[in-house]
A and B are shown apart, each in its own frame.
Chain A
Amino acid sequence: MRNTLCLLLAFSLAASVQAADQPAAVRIAVFDFKADWHTDYRLEITHSGQVFSALMAQDLSVLKPLVVVGRDANGDNLAGEQTVGEERITPAAAKALGDSLHAAALVTGQLFRSTTQLIIAAKVVLTATGQTSGTLVQGNPSTSLADLTARLSAQIANLILYQPGSAPLQWKPASIVGSGGPDSPGEDGGVTYVAAIDGKPVVEREKRWKEPLALLPGTHEIIIGEAGSKTGFAYPLAFRAYPGARYQVHYNPGGGEPPAVAQAIPIYHPSKIWIQDLIAGTPVPVLVVGERESSRSIEPIGLGYNGSLGGGSLSGSSGGPFFPGSTGNASTGAPSSGGRSK
């Protein structure tokens, strides 16, 4: 769990560095959310609300000009036990907290779940004035947690960046597409495609690998599949999609293993996968969130919310972890020579 939060923070720091250069950066602190269900020790999730707040912080950090502050190297809130969740916070207290964290806004909230719905409510306090507002999102078992979080992040950002008389801000969705095909320089001429997003299998994923798939800005868990070889494979990865960005999944069967990925990918199937930012022309950081699966039997994992939350995991999916610290590894996914990057 602690390792997972460190990795999540690594994402957050990268985003902060990018956004910190923006002159109009708005610094915000995300406090732990409260969750009313228990933990899953098998998955090392010991505090669902804390994990969700880390995810929330990641998603907010992609929405410029927001910059998430107030988290230490372990991903814990610097504010410690302080909470702005249930009590009324006075303007003086908000200002003092904002000054100590160098934050213009404080964000916290609460998660409610049942077998039929998941509701996430957020509370936002502007530290300059003490003005307090709130918003929520509601999902059913067919809604992914990733999408819920992304939607809530956009709503929170609009509460923070609200300007009277102006239209709500909107952030363009990102897109992701497959690569390869017969003309590909790869060794086997196979196709690398997006097999599933946030626990939802992509329809006709192997045939329609050229079609871009939309992603709300924020953290998503995708399964990258490979067709054309006899075995096939599927790797679950998590990465953070920025507004308007275009991504492409890649597979280089002959490439060397990036060190950070080597431990997570089984050595009997040496391979190399990465996600390329087509606009920036560079690989993006990814988090390997599971082991290799056969592309013939893709199971929903991670950020999908299928309503069966009785087992206690945050996502409650049928077998997939939610950023398990024991297997998670961050990687820059740097391609080596011979890859199919275009």
Chain B
Amino acid sequence: MNEDDLDRMLREAVVPEQPKSYWDKFPGEVVLRLSSEGNGHRRRRFWPLAAAGFATAGAGLLLGFALWHRNGLRGPDAAELRDGRVLQALETEFPGRLQAIIMDARGVRPQLSALSDVSESDPIWLEIREGKERRVVVTFSGQVIRCGGRDVVVLADHDGQVMLLGPGFLWSPQASAGKAEGLQIKAEQLTDRRNDPAKRNAL
């Protein structure tokens, strides 16, 4: 190619044109790229902060665990369960749904029915020891709780005698049979003190 040919080709050359849609998208692409690069910088900066946060949270958990074991169970104590204050509060919050209140090493939690279908009766206090685990359960006659690794029905009569009945499982203060043997259980039917301050104070 001589000089003339080169000159002619350059004159005939057309400047490449981008379609209109390209130029429409171009600003957005730039912003997106810049934004992406900026985020990448922040993500890289996050890890030291996250590590510090995790460390702080871990320290908090350790502190809470230590305080928990130093002060016993968190939340309401056994006395508050026994005198009906917790029961009253939970029944107010979940009317007709409260099946049981369980207090164990994990704390205090309600056992609720999905529907408002729990019939009224006097509360029953159960203290169950299975090995090293101790649980306190406040429930009602006819409700099902876990005991000895199985579901059992809590039943009481009008004299306050309580028994736990399940498949191959019977416990009562007078006699035990089946898988209930070996468990340490104390039971007491509580008179309904939830709405009687005088009775509550007398405890």
Contact = CB atoms under 8 A, between A and B. Distances in A.
Given A86-B165, A86-B166, A114-B177, A134 B155 contact: yes
Contacts of B170: 110, 112, 119, 121, 136
B142 A162 contact: no
Interface stretch (A70-78, A124-132, A282-290): A124-132
A85 B59 CA distance: 50
Residue picked from A109, A110, A159, most chain B C-beta under 10 Å: A110
A90 interface: yes
Contacts of B119: 91, 129-132
A130 B156 CA distance: 14
Contact of A133 (B144, B156, B174, B178): B156
Interface residues of B, number: 29
B153 A86 contact: yes
B168 A36 contact: yes
Interface in A99-119: 109-110, 112, 114, 117, 119
Contacts of B184: none
A88 interface: yes
B151 interface: yes
B172 interface: yes
Interface residues of A, number: 32
A186 B121 CA distance: 61
A62 to B, nearest CB: 21
A159 B144 contact: no
B143 interface: yes
A112 B141 contact: no
Nearest to B121: A131
B66 to A, nearest CB: 39
A263 interface: no
A90 B166 CA distance: 17
Contacts of A110: 165, 170
Contact of B178 (A36, A86, A132, A134): A36
A183 B158 CA distance: 52
A162 B158 CA distance: 8
B157 to A, nearest CB: 5
A131 B142 contact: yes
A132 B166 contact: no
Contacts of A123: 153, 155, 165
Interface in B52-104: 99
B174 A132 contact: no
B147 interface: no
A133 to B, nearest CB: 5
A121 B165 contact: yes
Given A112-B170, A112-B177, A121-B163, A133 B117 contact: no
B3 to A, nearest CB: 102
A138 B178 contact: no
A89 interface: yes
Contact of B165 (A90, A92, A134, A158): A134
A110 B165 CA distance: 8
Interface string B162-182: 010111101010110110000
A159 B157 contact: yes
A117 B155 CA distance: 21
The 6 closest A-B pairs by CB, nearest first: A134-B155, A132-B142, A112-B177, A130-B119, A90-B117, A88-B144
Interface of B: 99, 113, 115, 117, 119-121, 141-144, 151, 153, 155-158, 161, 163, 165-168, 170, 172, 174-175, 177-178
Given A86-B165, A117-B175, A119-B170, 6 more contacts: A86-B153, A91-B117, A121-B165, A123-B153, A136-B163, A136-B175
28 contacts: A34-B167, A36-B178, A88-B153, A114-B177, A119-B175, A121-B165, A121-B170, A123-B153, A123-B165, A125-B142, A130-B119, A131-B120, A132-B119, A132-B121, A132-B142, A132-B153, A133-B155, A133-B158, A134-B155, A134-B156, A134-B163, A134-B165, A135-B155, A135-B157, A136-B163, A138-B175, A159-B157, A159-B158
